[in-house]
Structure 1
Amino acid sequence: MNETIEGYMPDGGRLPYRFMKYRIHKILLVCCSYDGYILEEDGHIESQINQEYIDLNLSNPPSFTRVSSTAEALEALAGDDSFDFILTMYNVGEPDVFAFARIVKERHRNIPVALLTSFSKDIYRRIEEQDRSGLDYIFCWHGNTELIIAIIKLVEDKMNAAEDIGEGGVQAILLVEDSIRFYSTYLPELYKLILLQNTEFLKDAFNEQQQILRKRARPKILLARCYEEAAELYERYKKNLLGVISDVGFVLHRDDPPESEKLDAGIDLCRRIREDNPLMPVLLQSSQTAFGEQAAALGAGFVAKNSKTLLSQLHDFIDREFAFGDFVFEDPETGAEIGRARDLTQMQEMIATIPDGAFEYHTSQNHLSKWLYSRGLFPLAASIRRYNKSHFATVAEHRRVLVNLISDYRRLLGQGVVARFDPATYSDAVAFARIGEGSLGGKARGLAFMNSMLIKHRQYDMHEGVRIMIPRSVVIATEYFDEFIRLNGLKYIISQEFSDEEILSEFVSSYVPPRLQQELKAYIRTVRTPLAVRSSSKLEDSHYQPFAGIYSTYMIPYTDNEDQMLRLLLRAVKSVYASVYFAASRAYIQSSQNLISEEKMAVIIQEVCGTEQDGLFFPTCSGVARSINYYPIGDERPEDGVCNVAMGLGKLVVDGGRTLRFSPRYPQKVLQTSTPELALRDTQNEVLALSLRPEEFRTSIDDAVNLRRLSLQQIAPLRNARFVCSVWDRENERISDSPFDRGRKVITFNNILKYNTFPLAEIVSDILRMGAEEMRCPVEVEFAVNMDVAPGQQRIFNLLQIRPIIDNQDNRPIDWSAEDPARALVYGEQALGIGRMTDIADIVYVKSGAFDSLSTERIADELLALNTRMRDESRSYVLVGPGRWGSSDPFLGVPVKWTHISEAKVIVECGLERFEVEPSQGTHFFQNVTSLGVGYLTINPFRGEGIFREELLDARTAVYEGTFLRQVRFGRPLWVCVDGRSNRGMIREADGDGA
């Protein structure tokens, strides 16, 4: 059974319904000077009502306009038609209140009119003798401002009932009472209870918008003053009633005189409700206690109207029967309390642990759904009510479904909002929270944007059995970075030259502000998984300078020891702070023409997607997808996008390791697995996983210090391997996708991409399309997938990051028909770049004869020294070399960072016959290179794909010649053009006129 939440609560972002559409904003108060004085001077009615609204967490208190007579009131109404409600006292001149009310109804049919009068038998006798047809309500005034608030709420409830209850699912309480004195006493108490209940469950809301919607979704009170009206309201709203509170004796029809009252009309009403719905709570009240026995026989509650404890009995009944207050779990045999739930988190915990008998009792009586309905959690309540005992073979299955529904709903409410971190109310259902003030940083802004985007586009449960969401994230805003730097006097590091190790040591030995420590301590109490501690600087992932992967991301294991976990987390946060000032960061900031002093760091703390096995933690797969594919193959088009995916942690993908590349449009056409030879040679050969041993996380400038690299032999017995691996059938020389075959594992993703065991291609396509639409430019996203879940649990697609892909191609197109590749020093048709470059006279290239895949780290060291010299001379250059530039795997290419290549303006990946590698698109390195307008070419001359005339360069005198690198300088700037629009690039000597 695939249990899902029916519809969506408005605070989940899906339901466009707007509660409480009609509100009372402006009240015309008609009273003589004496009454006005009592109300305004002695009672301070307006300020008291304002204060009551604040105390009850209500917004927009109404304003009052006071006039001293009905004549003045009619004048005011003639000149101003914006009044929503008229409240009049009894003694207000001519015309009298009854004639005044009738005139108002003739002229302003939709304005409710209520009479407020003090209690006396003489006044009540006179009221009974009058034509009261113009009055909507009459109330008994005791000088109590709570009654005014109750009147306003009652009138608003009546105005909104049909829509809010009928369309929005709001619950209601039916009050049946014809005694003005009694309903004037009851209403303030009922509303106080409802509004206090409402304030209590606002704690489950994650931001202001959710709180406002929860307030407006509170239960309504419907007042009936005769049998006919009560029966009508019951029939209309019975599916949404929490319960009924009724007098025993009252009149049958609206205009019947009081003396025609039927003494047991309430008993008749109760009997009618019981026949229709035996579970509906009914509370009868009467001054004649003899009716208590009849009430008990009908299973209804009873209170005596003349009881000194009337209001406390009313409170107790409502709390218990209308599901207000805490939910109390009882033993059905003894009635003893076995537990209680104050909120959804506790409800989820209790349902998972109470004895079977108590579970069956409360579910069969619809107690759970009623408690949820009373809190405005309509879709969850409806879903739980829909599943009764008959739907399940066992109690355990029924229990599991309800726990999953509540867990899923809590997570849903936490999606799409940015919550302020509050240690008192924070829970594992909050998807995104911020600690402190200041900026969230670029990466966190992207996360917050994705969080809202997923809800807006209804992605959360778009696919059966899959949840699409961001991992639970907390952001430490830049305020704390500033405070950390200031408290520890670290500003001097900006102007000094320190090694990365020295900077890191200085930061890690500094202390974190105590307030932040306390908040992080509260946060880790909700954590049960390893954490990724990521940078989110002000400059990171902005539209024109992505800074992708420039700063560090540290992963820390989960440990039960709270103090140890806090120490690990604080060390990781300080290490991320330190990475702002590392050499690679400085080089990138300088090349992007920013100032290191302007950079500020926020930190994202995220749950790591995945599961544990054998002391290791990793997801089923991770990947990077781009909405534009600069290197389409076969039927692919650039706009179809491209995705690189790998088993295990995504650092392998973003650092340029060997991954599987596919087009989300053609997931079954994967070049790397198109033949057994390619699959064996070109697919992923190692998997990254996080070690769960806390002692392996040491202070290091290498943020992968506690990651393990697993070989294909080591991953073979792991659970996740069955989702992504095929087997090499040596005997038949074929790749087998059967889970039962044994042999060498090959990471093909065939089960996912060919047989669609997980809708990866579809989800990636949807996310890329949404991101591009919302950002108005091509986007790149990082994601992780966990398929290793218990039976009945949802598989997870976690969206980790989104950033814009920079497209600066606004210069004139090149007429390539006028260019002859025969003149080229370098030429290729897999190119990405922004057109002509006019100030490059140097080419630096790796000597193919000296190249050795075992020497790539030494090549990087040699390039660092050369690049530093070029920077000192303010010269840029073309860089040519084999394999993937920027790869973290030295066997795939030269593992350079920004400091190594910051002066290169064109980078050429030149495959050799013995060293052929896929383009590095999808890596952080590639993203930063292209965002800065650096030209990028991928060529494989030995296959006839592009040209590199190394022999012509070898024939020229070298400016520099080292063990692996050679630098050639030309007398005047080269003709350089890398045109991403046509995917062509060429470097040649310039003609005499520079063309």
Structure 2
Amino acid sequence: MTGNGGNSQDHNRVSTGLPGLDDVLDGLRIGDNVVWRVSDLDDYRRFVTPFVESAASAGRRIIYLRFGQHPPLISGKSNIHTENIDALGGFEAFTGRVWRLIEEYGRGAFYVCDCLSDLLNAWATDVMVGNFFRVVCPFLFELDTVAWFALYPDRHSRTTLDRIRQTTQVMVDVHRLGDDVQIQPIKAWCRQSPTMFLPHRERNGRFLPVDDSSDATRLQAGLELAQLHRQPLLDYWDRLFMQVASALESEDPQQIADVQNRVLNVLISRDSRMLDLARRYLGLEDLLAIRARMIGSGYIGGKAAGMLIARSILLTNQPDIWQEGLEPHDSSYLGSDAYYAFLVHNGLWPATMRQRSADGYFSEAAELRRGLLAGRFPPEIRVELERLLDHYGQYPILVRSSSLQEDGFGNAFAGKYDSVFLVNQGAPEHRLAALEDAIRRVYASTMSDDALVYRKQRGLDQREEPMALLIQRVNGRFHGRYYLPDAAGVGVSRNTFAWDTDMDPAAGMARLVMGLGTRAVDRIEDDHACVMALDYPRRQPFRNQDESYRFSQHLLDVLDLWEGKLTTRPLSQLAQEVSDLPLNHLGEVDQSASRSAEELGLPAPVWRLTFLPLVRNGRFVARLSSLLKTLEAGYQHPVDVEFTLHLNNAGGPAFNLVQCRPLATIGETAAAPIPADIPHHKLLFRTRGHFMGGNINLSIRRVIRVNAAVYSKLTMSQRYDVARLVGEQVRMDSGKTMLIGPGRWGTSSPELGVPVRFAHIAGVAALVEVAEMEGDMVPDLSYGSHFFQDLVETGIAYVALFPNGRNCTYQPQRLPGINTNTTQASPEQAIQTFDLRAKPLQLTGDVISQDLACYYPD
């Protein structure tokens, strides 16, 4: 590699500071990166000193990049700029900092770097040391610099040493055997002489080639003998896990604790709360098991860590229940270092640096996303992916995001990054291509608008966020052409959407679906999951049986093995096509609808997914309640889990826990008092239940309302215009804003509500959904979905209003100067904005009484 050609003109030459060494190497060239492979850092230091003195006397700017644990190589001088860089912040932060410094110092600067091998103590893998060099070396070359580096070759793998050699322009080995020290140039780009690459001894300032082969052989034999008891050419990562095995054999508590801490800090997390959990629940055997299922190195990411910690909490604290009731997981992990290796391998680091800048954070994201989607995998990763597919055979698999910050305390990233189902059918090469495409999609989703806004809002836009992957066998059964689990769901240990005053929020709740869990975690656009309070599992938030059936699940997400993709099928169709679905354990026959179907010659019976048989079985509710309480106690924080169910012939459930994260909550502050008798003319709305956010106490200074009567007359295209205009209005910050609209905010189906993206309304204080437009648009009690997770994390209060229902009053005419003219139907006419700074509304909710009111205070 490494450059565009040689130039021997004097102005392009640079001295090493030692004329004898210049003779050996034919001098240095502008653009050279010089790597010294040494066994003793003093051997590097003795060459650095004359180089720096020579460069200083020539008036060069000299920058010392200081990051090692060893004593400084250069003493402080006025013409030397020392830049201290913390390597503990991770590969991206460190490499990004060096990149910015190179940009700032510009052309012609000279660099001296600490020993690269010291980065292993911070990163625990020399793969990333090699990637760092592959990033900065070409950039330094482009800017006409000269940069010196050192490393200890016996601490690095052959792959890393080869990559550094391929990338650099000059590489010199320093061999030491007692007092016998020799240098041997290994590479000198665009230079050649008959003896250049022989070992050389220094004699009176000259470096003389060792032209006696016997002499050279004796030195080499002595070096090999001295290294017999070392472990050369092993990745630091591999040596670290060899120490894990050694600590287990030693049974020394202190050694075990030390090694465990070292591994957790480079494998699991940097977050102190997650690390505390991992110390309690992930022992050395667990860490070795992770390593055995891992491709590459680095972090396994928050989603994978949360799943593993949660499983260990259950098996540790309730083994009598969960040894039987918890299915073994079959997961693999693509480490975070593989993400960085992908960037480097595809030349995407410059694009990454442009995107990480303040000006390029949004504007450069699209280009980087395209690069991620078009990238190719390093050969060593591709081979491991082939082996992974051999392990899973032809079972469907799920490729899930598991970034460093994901599923942590306060940052769930719910729905921000992609997860991709693969049916995993066909020839091996086709399955590998599909897996690679899926990984690229997840990588590229880090540059989606929603993910970028999410990170920006939480101050994470400049923090390292490498994407690891959790790859799992999809839990389920083959049903002919379809593959699906019996049931799936989301469980939360705190029910902040309790719709009945008898319900205890601490009892938790579940959101259940038949089939794949996508319909439990995503806000369903034309269907409904079953929302179940675990202390009153038979009590539904509906007025009658017809409404319960209407707002139940009618569509299932399944994997279609023939079409090779995730697809949605009506329950009625699947019930006819598949004879062995567990409908009798999850639903009930609608006798009236079945009789009508028979009279019309339609397929019967008609099933309704009420999940009441699962409730009556008894074990499901008891086990899920126990699971949530145990995990909340382990996390010492409310939790949010995703699971699938595998039912036996009697309907008894076994749980497969696929995700666990701390539940984001707006808070449990003391309830603000709601006036006992609010005058009717001062009340905008009031509801019993149907709100979320715990205790709410907000002063509303602006209301943006979508008029349902106008909205109903708009075309689908115009409704998207409404969503865009609402986003623009929200961004015009005028204080605490409340959105009121028909049906579901954030839907992708304009006939069901306003299709805004969450990123466009993330700054509001409260979101109100109203059942309007003749019942076509109704709020969705979809707590546990990604959209609601966004609301909770962002601290947005949520209210669902059913004006025709019990315990609900809604009087939009109380908004000042409201326009009641609905004859004109345009996107602009559908949106009404009210500035209430002179007379704010008060929004108050009490989570205990489940009473909420929005009114003008006295």
1:947 aligns with 2:809: yes
Describe the shift of the 1:990–1:725 C-alpha distance in structure 2 as closer, same or farther (beyond 3 A). Answer: closer
Asked if 2 retains the 8 angstrom alpha-carbon contact of 1:857 and 1:894, the reply is no
Q: Classify the secondary structure of the residue corresponding to 2:708.
A: coil
Deviations 1:793-837 (A, max 9, x none): 997421111122233436564122367263232333433337677
Deviation for aligned residue 1:579 = 0.8
Relative to 1, partners in 2 of residues 1:811 and 1:763: Cα closer, same or farther, differing over 3 Å?
closer
Q: 1:750 aligns with which of 607, 612, 631?
A: 612
Aligned mates of 1:778, 1:505 — CA distance in 2: 38
Is the CA contact 1:627–1:778 (under 8 Å) kept in the aligned structure 2? yes
Q: Does 1:659 align with 2:529?
A: yes
Measure the CA separation in 2 of the matches of 1:585 and 1:721: 37
Aligned length: 562
Q: Tell me what 1:484 maps to.
A: 342
1:277-309 CA distance string (max 9 Å, x none): xxxxxxxxxxxxxxxxxxxxxxxxxxxxxxxxx
Q: Provide the C-alpha distance between the structure 2 equivalents of 1:778 and 1:696, rounded to a whole number of angstroms.
A: 38
Q: Is the 8 A contact 1:876 1:904 kept in 2?
A: yes
Shift of 1:556: 0.9
Give the letter aligned to residue 383 of structure 2. Answer: Q
Q: Which amino acid aligns with 1:782?
A: E
Q: Cα 1:853–1:726, aligned 2, differ >3 Å: closer, same or farther?
A: farther
Deviations 1:463-516 (A, max 9, x none): 8xx541463222222222223233331403452656987654431211223322
Are positions 1:710 and 2:570 aligned together?
yes
Report the CA distance shift for 1:839/1:871 in structure 2 as closer, same or farther (over 3 A): farther
Taking the aligned partners of 1:792 and 1:827, their CA distance within structure 2 comes to: 45
Q: What residue in structure 1 maps to residue 437 of structure 2?
A: 571
Matched, 1:720 2:590: no
CA distance in 1, matches of 2:551, 2:783: 16
Q: Partners in 2 of 1:654 and 1:436 — Cα distance?
A: 30
1:575 offset after TM fit, Å? 0.8
Q: 1:964 aligns with which of 810, 830, 851?
A: 830
* Correspondence for 2:500: 633
1:820 aligns with 2:678: yes
Larger RCO (CA under 8 A, 6+ residues apart):
2
Equivalent residue in structure 2 for 1:644, among 499, 511, 518: 511
SS at structure 2 position matched to 1:569: helix
Distance of 2:635 and 2:557 partners within structure 1:
32
In structure 2, the partner of 1:928 is 790
Matched AA of 2:804: F
Counterpart amino acid of residue 778 in structure 1? P
Pairing 1:529-568 to 2, within 5 Å after superposition:
529-568=395-434
Distance 1:735 1:641 in 2: 38
Please tell me whether residue 898 in structure 1 is matched to residue 767 in structure 2.
no
- Aligned residue type for 1:628: R
1:606 maps onto 2:606 in alignment: no
Q: Is the 8 A contact 1:884 1:920 kept in 2?
A: no
Partner residue in 2 for 1:522: 387
- 8 Å contact from structure 2 (residues 355, 365) kept in 1: no
Amino acid at match of 2:483: F
| Aligned-pair CA distance for 1:591 | 2.5
Paired residues of 2:696 and 2:846 also in contact (CA < 8 A): no
Listed as ranges, the gaps of 5+ residues in structure 2 are 1-240, 252-281, 821-825
1:597 positional shift? 5.5
- State the Cα distance separating 1:564 from its structure 2 match: 1.8
**Corresponding position: 1:682 with 2:551:** yes
Question: 1:559 Cα shift?
Answer: 2.4
TM score, norm. by length of structure 2: 0.59
Whether the aligned pair in 2 keeps the contact of 1:884 and 1:894 (CA below 8 Å) is yes
Q: Does 1:907 align with 2:773?
A: no
Matches within 5 A, 1:408-557: 417-419=286-288, 426=292, 433-459=293-319, 462=322, 467-469=325-327, 471-488=329-346, 489=348, 490-491=351-352, 492-494=354-356, 495=360, 497=362, 504-528=369-393, 529-557=395-423
Is 1:776 aligned with 2:636? yes
What amino acid is aligned across from residue 687 of structure 1 in structure 2? L
Separation in structure 1 between the aligned mates of residue 313 and residue 713 of structure 2, nearest angstrom? 44
Structure 1 spans left out of the alignment, 5+ residues:
1-205, 217-412, 427-432, 698-705
Q: Is the 8 A contact 2:401 2:469 kept in 1?
A: yes
Instruction: Give the secondary structure class of the aligned counterpart of 1:785.
Output: strand
Measure the CA separation in 2 of the matches of 1:615 and 1:765: 35
Superposition map of 1:858-869 within 5 A: 859-869=719-729
Shift of 1:893: 4.0
1:534 CA drift (Å): 1.1
Contact 1:537 1:599 survives alignment (8 Å): yes
The 1:861/1:450 distance shift into structure 2, 3 A limit, reads: farther
| Distance apart, 1:860 and its partner CA | 5.0
Tell me how far apart the structure 1 counterparts of residues 286 and 692 of structure 2 sit (CA, whole Å): 37
CA–CA separation in structure 2 for the residues paired with 1:729 and 1:586: 50
Residues 12-61 of structure 1 deviation map (CA, whole Å, 9 limit, x = unaligned): xxxxxxxxxxxxxxxxxxxxxxxxxxxxxxxxxxxxxxxxxxxxxxxxxx
Q: SS of 1:754's equivalent?
A: helix
Tell me the amino acid that sits aligned with residue 692 of structure 1: L
Relative distance call for 1:865 and 1:445 in structure 2 (3 A) is farther
Cα distance in 2, alignment partners of residues 754 and 857 from structure 1:
46
The one-character-per-residue Cα deviations of 1:544-565 (angstroms, maximum 9, x if unpaired) are 2322112111111122522222
Partner of 2:710, secondary structure, is coil
**Partner SS for 1:730:** helix
CA distance, structure 1, for counterparts of residue 587 and residue 512 of structure 2: 13
- Contact 1:713–1:745 (8 Å) recurs in 2: no
Write out aligned runs for 1:366-377 (5 A).
Answer: none
In the alignment, the residues of structure 2 paired with residue 752 and residue 917 of structure 1 have an alpha-carbon distance, to the nearest angstrom, of 26
The one-letter code matched in structure 2 to 1:814 is A
**In structure 2, distance between residues paired with 1:840 and 1:581:** 33
In 2: Cα distance, 1:686 partner to 1:854 partner: 27
- Cα distance in 1 for residues equivalent to 2:594 and 2:733: 61
Cross-structure match for 1:801: 659
Query: Whole-Å Cα distance in 2 between the matches of residues 811 and 461 of structure 1?
Result: 35
Aligned to 1:33: none
Letter in 1 for 2:532: F
Letter aligned with residue 952 of structure 1: R
- CA distance, structure 2, for counterparts of residue 660 and residue 438 of structure 1: 39
Q: What percent of counterpart residues are identical?
A: 23
Distance, in Å, in 2 between the alignment partners of 1:720 and 1:208 is 49
Contact (CA 8 Å) 1:715, 1:721: kept in 2 or not?
A: no
Aligned mates of 2:785, 2:468 — CA distance in 1: 23
Q: Work out the CA distance in 1 between the residues paired with 2:806 and 2:545.
A: 24
In structure 2, how many angstroms separate the alpha carbons of the residues matched to 1:661 and 1:812? Answer: 27
Distance 1:889 1:743, change over 3 A: farther
Other structure's SS at 1:927 match? helix
What displacement does 1:572 show? 0.9
The 3 A distance-change label for structure 1 pair 755 and 837 is closer
Q: What displacement does 1:584 show? A: 1.3
Secondary structure, counterpart of 1:881 in structure 2: strand
- Separation (CA, whole Å) in 2 of partners of 1:480 and 1:874: 44
Tell me the distance in 2 between the aligned counterparts of 1:415 and 1:618: 35
**Matched residues in 1 for 2:827 and 2:474: separation?**
46
| Equivalent position amino acid for 2:519 in 1 | L
Root-mean-square deviation (Å): 4.0
Cα distance, 1:747–1:978 mapped onto 2, change above 3 Å: same
Q: For 2:816 and 2:427, locate their aligned partners in 1 and report how far apart those are by CA, in whole Å.
A: 62
The 1:827–1:751 alpha-carbon spacing in structure 2 relative to 1, beyond 3 Å, is closer
